[in-house]
């Protein structure tokens, strides 16, 4: 395999360290070129996001380390950051790439951006030509694994922020948010965020009201909405389907009797109160009215918490899938590993057979066609019998990760086959440097 991966992420390094290694997108092509120009590096790509930098390479032997790249490109002595850097090789590197792509290594497990970021990094490296057959195989597989994890587990389905839970709930009540209106009572970072989310999901009209009318006007301008005077709050709130409250009032400003009035004015069309204020702005009794749904900050937070817990459970399923996929990937690589050996073994014995026939031909005199066939069958039979055990052993060794290399070496030594490296080079020359997935 000979994959090497070195990286920092949000868990191993604080932002001061991560920013030392972050590479802006514009510099990525240059960076991957620098990476592949290091001695022993055959292929390489780099993923750089705000939470992680992953430097992935395939080396010609297992031993190459990427220190040269750190000195050359970053001008940093990696030893200074050794505590923050993690390094994975071969199987572990494959596993890490799969986990990153499947968003299992993310700060918020299951967040969807990372896959896109990895795909982008891959596209950049491909465009520059630093990704060839083996990294290509790895990344293609990683994308498939990410897709499988997304399809087969619920790791990415539930909302894990207060604002997105609010959107989910609004959708559960109103279906489509198209044409729905929002009323912001009071201002605050969280309520603004919730409003922004709702607008992004199709809500159209937004009204703002605040004890200080100037602030309402400023906020309304920000959202392209309408500021309404605070003293007309009870008359105007029923205009909105979704009410987000976050005033500093010491007691509830919306009580059950208000709710009844709103409902009759709305002809019983449902209303959704999102109460972000502490102390609460909406009397919990309001929730008892048919068609009024009240969620306070704790209710929302509770949904978030339970979703986060769900994601953790789902992440366990996902990890199992990744493990399985790593095994499959490795098995496939190893089968590919033994194929060239089998082929050269067959070629070798066939050459021996031909040479021997040619050698004794003169002594045999003229043969009848039947005799010709018999000689052919006899020699072929012997060769096949001899080849049988080594080939089955190779094939079964391919399935056992620890054995494969030993058995390949052994068979090559026993039969005096060409050195693998020269063989591969010749093969590559023969197919014009195409995709030969052989051991490098």
Partner 1 sequence: MGFMPLIWLRVAVVCYGVGLLYSLLLLSKKGNLLAKIVEPAVGLGLIFHFVSLVESTILIGHLSLASIHYSESLLAFLAMVVFFVFFVGYRTTSPGIVIFPIVFVLTFASAIGQHPVTLTSPLLRNGWIFVHVVLIFTGYAGLFLSFGASLLYLAQERALKSKSKTALLTWLPPLQTIDDIGYRALLFGFPFMTFGIVTGSVLAIERYGAMFFSDPKILLSFIMWAVYMLLLYTRWSSGWRGRRAAFLATFAFVIAICAWIANNFSRVHRFIPS
93: left (phi over 0), alpha (psi -120 to 50) or beta: alpha
Contact set for partner 1, span 176-195 (CB under 8 A)? 176
Examine residue 370 and tell whether it contacts partner 1 (CB under 8 A). no
Binding partner 1 (rule: CB under 8 A), the pick from 11, 80, 172, 361 is 172
Beta pairing, strands 271-275 & 292-296: parallel
- DSSP string over 180-212: -EEEEES--HHHHHHHHHHHHTT--EEEEE-SS
Using rule CB under 8 A, residue 171 touches partner 1: yes
d(C-alpha 384, C-alpha 340), whole Å: 18
Residue with tokens 């505590």: 83
Residue 279, preceding peptide bond in cis (omega within 30° of 0): yes
Among 67, 87, 285, 299, binds partner 1 (CB under 8 A): 299
Among 169, 194, 243, 304, binds partner 1 (CB under 8 A): 169
Q: Which is nearer to partner 1, 302 or 351 (CB)?
A: 302
Interaction between residue 303 and partner 1 (CB under 8 A): yes
Instruction: Please give the residues from 71 up to 100 whose contact with partner 1 meets the rule CB under 8 A.
Output: none
Q: Provide, rounded to whole angstroms, the least separation between the CB of residue 110 and partner 1.
A: 15
Does residue number 332 form part of the binding site for partner 1 (CB under 8 A)?
A: no
Using the rule CB under 8 A, which residue among 205, 256, 270, 285 binds partner 1? 270
Q: Which is nearer to partner 1, 89 or 171 (CB)?
A: 171
Residue of 50, 107, 364, 374 marked catalytic: 50
Choices 35-43, 125-133, 285-293, 412-420 (CB under 8 A): range interacting with partner 1:
285-293
CA dist 219 and 185 (Å) reads: 11
Q: Is 387 in the site for partner 1 (CB under 8 A)?
A: no
When asked if residue 437 is in the footprint of partner 1 (CB under 8 A), the reply is: no
38 catalytically annotated: no
**Does residue 290 belong to the site contacting partner 1 (CB under 8 A)?**
yes
Residues 31-60 that bind partner 1 (CB under 8 A): none
Secondary structure (3-state) at 44: strand
Does residue 174 belong to the site contacting partner 1 (CB under 8 A)?
A: yes
According to DSSP, residue 74 is labeled: I
Residues 242 and 203 sit within 8 Å (Cβ to Cβ): yes
Which CB, 43 or 241, lies closer to partner 1? 241
Q: 151 vs 422, which CB is nearer to partner 1?
A: 151
Least distance in Å: CB of 188 to partner 1?
A: 22
Region from 248-256, 295-303, 399-407, 419-427 binding partner 1, contact rule CB under 8 A: 295-303
By CB under 8 A, the residues from 248 to 267 that bind partner 1 are 264, 266-267
CB 341, CB 411: distance < 8 Å: yes
Shortest distance in whole angstroms from residue 165 CB to partner 1: 8
- Tokens describing residue 154: 């619920």
What is the torsion angle, in degrees rounded to the nearest 10, for the CA atoms of residue 95, residue 100, residue 102 and residue 106? 130
Distance of closest approach, residue 182 Cβ to partner 1, in angstroms: 16
- With both helix axes pointing from N to C terminus, report the angle between 404-415 and 297-364 in degrees, rounded to the nearest 10: 10
Contacts of 13 (CB under 8 A, 6+ apart): 81, 84, 85
Q: Are the CB atoms for 131 and 117 separated by under 8 Å?
A: no
Q: If phi over 0 gives left and psi between -120 and 50 gives alpha, with beta otherwise, what is residue 40?
A: left
Query: Among residues 267 and 363, whose Cβ is nearest to partner 1?
Result: 267
Burial 314-330 (b: 16+ CB within 10 A, else e): bbeebbebbeebbeebb
Instruction: Give the β-pairing of 52-59 and 41-48.
Output: antiparallel
Question: Do residues 251 and 281 touch, judged by C-beta distance below 8 A?
Answer: no
Considering beta carbons, is residue 178 or 212 the nearer one to partner 1?
178
Nearer to partner 1, 175 or 250 (CB): 175
Given candidates 301, 306, 351, 392, which one binds partner 1 under the rule CB under 8 A? 306
Show which residues are catalytic: 50
User: What residues line the site for partner 1 (CB under 8 A)?
Assistant: 158-159, 168-169, 171-176, 264, 266-270, 287, 290-291, 293, 295, 299, 302-303, 306
């Amino acid at each position: 395999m000979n994959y090497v991966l070195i990286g920092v992420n949000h868990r191993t390094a604080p932002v001061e360290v991560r920013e030392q290694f972050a590479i802006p997108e514009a510099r990525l092509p240059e960076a991957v070129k620098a990476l592949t120009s290091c001695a022993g590096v055959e292929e390489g790509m780099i993923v750089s996001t705000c939470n992680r930098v992953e430097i992935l390479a395939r080396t010609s032997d297992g031993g190459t380390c990427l220190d040269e790249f750190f000195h050359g490109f970053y001008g940093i002595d990696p030893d200074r950051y050794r505590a923050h850097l993690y390094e994975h090789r071969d199987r572990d590197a494959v596993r890490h790439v799969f986990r990153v792509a499947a968003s299992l290594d993310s700060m918020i497990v299951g967040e969807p951006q990372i896959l896109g970021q990895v795909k982008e990094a891959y596209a950049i490296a491909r465009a520059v030509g630093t990704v060839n057959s083996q990294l290509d195989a790895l990344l293609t597989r990683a994308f498939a694994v990410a897709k499988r994890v997304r399809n087969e587990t619920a790791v990415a389905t539930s909302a894990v922020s207060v604002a997105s839970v609010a959107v989910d709930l609004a959708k559960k009540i109103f279906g489509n948010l198209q044409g729905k209106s929002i009323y912001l009572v009071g201002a605050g970072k969280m309520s603004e965020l919730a409003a922004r989310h709702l607008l992004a999901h199709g809500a159209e009209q937004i009204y703002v009201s605040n004890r200080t009318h100037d602030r309402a006007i400023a906020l309304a301008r920000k959202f392209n909405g309408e500021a309404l005077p605070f003293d007309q709050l009870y008359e105007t709130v029923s205009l909105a389907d979704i009410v987000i409250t976050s005033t500093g009032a010491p007691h509830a400003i919306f009580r059950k009797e208000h709710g009844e009035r709103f409902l009759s004015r709305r002809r019983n069309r449902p209303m959704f109160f999102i109460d972000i204020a502490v102390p609460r702005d909406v009397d919990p009794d309001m929730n008892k009215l048919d068609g009024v749904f009240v969620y306070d900050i704790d209710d929302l937070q509770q949904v978030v918490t339970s979703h986060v817990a769900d994601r953790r459970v789902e992440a366990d399923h996902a990890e199992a899938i990744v493990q399985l996929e790593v095994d499959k990937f490795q098995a496939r690589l190893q089968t590919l590993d033994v194929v060239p050996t089998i082929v050269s073994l067959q070629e070798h014995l066939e050459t021996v057979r031909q040479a021997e026939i040619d050698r004794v031909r003169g002594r045999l005199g003229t043969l009848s066609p039947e005799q010709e066939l018999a000689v052919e069958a006899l020699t072929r039979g012997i060769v096949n019998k001899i080849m049988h055990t080594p080939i089955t052993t190779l094939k079964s060794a391919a399935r056992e990760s620890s054995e494969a290399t030993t058995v390949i070496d052994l068979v090559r030594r026993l039969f005096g086959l060409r050195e693998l490296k020269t063989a591969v080079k010749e093969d590559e020359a023969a197919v014009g440097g195409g995709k030969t997935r052989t051991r490098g």
